[in-house]
Amino acid sequence: MKNNKNESRREFVQKTAMAAGALLTVPMGVDGMARVHGEQKLKLALVGCGGRGSGATVQALTADENVELVAMADAFADRIERSLKGIQDHFDGEKKINVKEKHRFVGFDAYKKAIDMADVVILTTPPGFRPYHFEYAIANDKHVFMEKPVATDPVGIRKVLETAKLAKAKKLNVVVGLQRHYQSKYIDLKQRIDSGAIGQIRSGQVYWNDAGVWVKKRKPGQTELEYQMRNWYYFNWLCGDHILEQHIHNIDVANWFIGDYPVSAQGMGGRQVRNGKDHGEIFDHHFVEFTYASGAVIASQCRHIPGTMSRVDEVFQGTKGSVEIGKGIISGLDGESTYKYPNKWGEDPNPYQVEHDRLFASIRDGGVITDAENGAKSTLTAILGRMATYTGKKITFEEALNSELHLVPEEVTWDTTPPSLPDTNGNYPIPTPGKTKMI
């Protein structure tokens, strides 16, 4: 992730931006020019010190020659210290890290203290907290990188959409970690689809099938809240289920390539293999049909089951041909390839790095990146899919958007009772299609 010390920031950004396509910015008016930071030092804060937050911080510090990490926040002190050591080790003595002990903020309100110190903030806590952290950052005039998904319930989505309007009005840059929008192959294929290479998309299949992710065992003496916070992936108020946390990438690509969001969804899912007490309340498989206003139907599948076929990919069929994004191949109706994306493995710029390169270039040069609205609507699409699989019902996008489903408490302290609690045997309530209600 380190760029050549002899290569200027501007040259480095220009190369990665050219490889990944034009900057997704809008011009900044005269009234916004005061927000352009020029070559002054930018102060960076990290909120959420897990692996993704640590990686995003390294990428942010790599993207710009004159940025300094000044504050970190997390619910747990040990996560801050582990993250800080990893970032320091990566830069090996470079003067990019200046996080004094008093600026390592711990607790559920720690995000405010870290954000207050910064020009640019990285938001990478469990996604249930994202709407509140994003709202505070934009209210206080900060540029933002935030990971996907951007909420876990419709109430949070509406908060993010309102905050996105404010961010745009303030001409603040917001990048969301749906990094395929910054990936050369996706940009190239999208441009060809938009130029008519396969005609109008009529159907598609999107996949995130693999063995599943980590499990954190319950430790003696942990409160229920600490256990859920440490094992956040398995609780919907924090994570939203893996259809949201991971499969959002592929669902977002479907929305992007079709150029719209679905009007409805119906599907099925359940817990067949990863169904123990330490798997919380989420499903281990989901299958959803998303229907769009054009009539296009996308078959979405995600699975967390060891020993099964692994595939993370997107495939679309149009009136003139098809595209397999994983292979980078466009084919005609006869199945013969008409185009293959020309890169070799590892030659393209890292899209995780490119999204930070472009964020900081936009801040420096007076542009405005506005990813938040799409981030919210693609997050809502995944929530819509979860609603469909949990209930077994056909649900419209508008019903999901206007739902009063609110999973995350308005304020969380260490005395808060989590929204989902185990029974006397340690089992959590599991959604039951045909009985569970979500609207």
Per-residue confidence (pLDDT) for residue 38, from 0 to 100: 65
Tell me the C-alpha distance between 112 and 356, whole Å. 22
Euclidean distance between CA atoms 251 and 174, whole angstroms:
20
The answer to whether the CB of 38 falls within 8 A of the CB of 364 is yes
> In whole angstroms, what is the distance from residue 154 CA to residue 137 CA?
20
Residue 131 is assigned to a structural domain of this protein? yes
Asked if 55 and 166 sit in the same domain, the reply is: yes
Note the residue count of the chain: 439
Instruction: Report whether 90 contacts 123 (CB < 8 A).
Output: no
Q: How confident is the model over 302-347, as pLDDT tens digits?
A: 999 999 999 999 999 999 999 999 999 999 999 999 999 998 777 8
Instruction: Tell me the two tokens of residue 239.
Output: 């994570």
Whether residue 139 is found in the same domain as residue 82:
yes
pLDDT at 11: 43
> The pTM is what?
0.92
Q: β-pairing, 120-123 with 297-304? A: unpaired
**pLDDT recorded at residue 333:** 98
Two tokens, residue 396: 């419209």
Detail the DSSP E strand segments found in 124-213: 143-146, 174-176, 201-210
- Is the model's pLDDT at 22 over the cut of 80? no
Are residues 112 and 199 part of one domain? no
Report the pLDDT value the prediction gives residue 8, as an integer from 0 to 100.
40
CATH of residue 167: 3.40.50.720
Q: Which two tokens stand for residue 14?
A: 């220009």
- Whether residue 183 has pLDDT greater than 80: yes
pLDDT of residue 30 exceeding 70, the answer is: no
Q: Tell me what percent of the residues of the chain surpass a pLDDT of 70.
A: 91
- Residue 417 placed within a domain: no
The answer to whether residue 87 is domain-embedded is: yes
- Whether residues 353 and 342 share a domain: the answer is no
Tokens describing residue 365? 């040069």
Please indicate, yes or no, whether residues 219 and 309 belong to a single structural domain of this protein.
Answer: yes
Q: What is the CATH number of the domain that holds 222?
A: 3.30.360.10
Same domain, 141 and 272: no
Q: Is residue 336 part of a domain?
A: yes
Residue carrying the six token digits 């920031």: 9
Q: Are residues 164 and 199 in the same domain?
A: no
Mean pLDDT of the chain: 92
Q: Residue 37: pLDDT band by 50, 70, 90 thresholds?
A: low
Check residue 173 and give left, alpha or beta (phi > 0: left; psi -120 to 50: alpha).
Answer: beta
Counted domains in the chain: 2
- Which is nearest to 377 in space by CA: 260, 291, 210, 221? 260
In 72-153, alpha helices (H) = 77-91, 110-116, 130-139
* pLDDT recorded at residue 391: 98
pLDDT digits (tens, 9 = 90+) for 211-220: 999 999 999 9
Is 113 within the bounds of a domain?
yes
> Pairing relation of β-strands 201-210 and 337-340?
unpaired
Torsion of CA 284, 177, 312, 194, to 10 degrees: 130
Dihedral sign (CA 394, 400, 403, 406): positive
Please indicate, yes or no, whether residues 125 and 66 belong to a single structural domain of this protein: yes
Task: Count other Cβ atoms within 10 Å, centred on residue 15.
Answer: 14
Q: For residue 419, count other CB atoms closer than 10 A to its CB.
A: 16
Q: Are residues 21 and 164 in the same domain?
A: yes
- Give the phi and the psi of residue 13 in degrees, each rounded to 5: -65, -40
Under a CB-based contact definition with an 8 Å cutoff, are residues 313 and 264 in contact?
no
389 neighbors 269 (Cβ within 8 angstroms): yes
Note whether 266 and 394 are within 8 A (CB).
Answer: yes
Is residue 234 located within the same domain as residue 383? yes
Q: Could you tell me how many helices (H) and strands (E) the chain has, helices first?
A: 13, 15
Same domain, 68 and 212: no
Same domain, 101 and 39: yes
Largest CA distance in the chain: 65
pLDDT at res. 346: 78
The reply to whether 259 falls in a domain is: yes
Residue 418 lies inside a defined structural domain of this protein: no
The reply to whether 63 falls in a domain is yes
pLDDT at residue 97 tops 70: yes
pLDDT reported for residue 239? 98
Q: Which domain holds residue 69?
A: 9-180+349-370
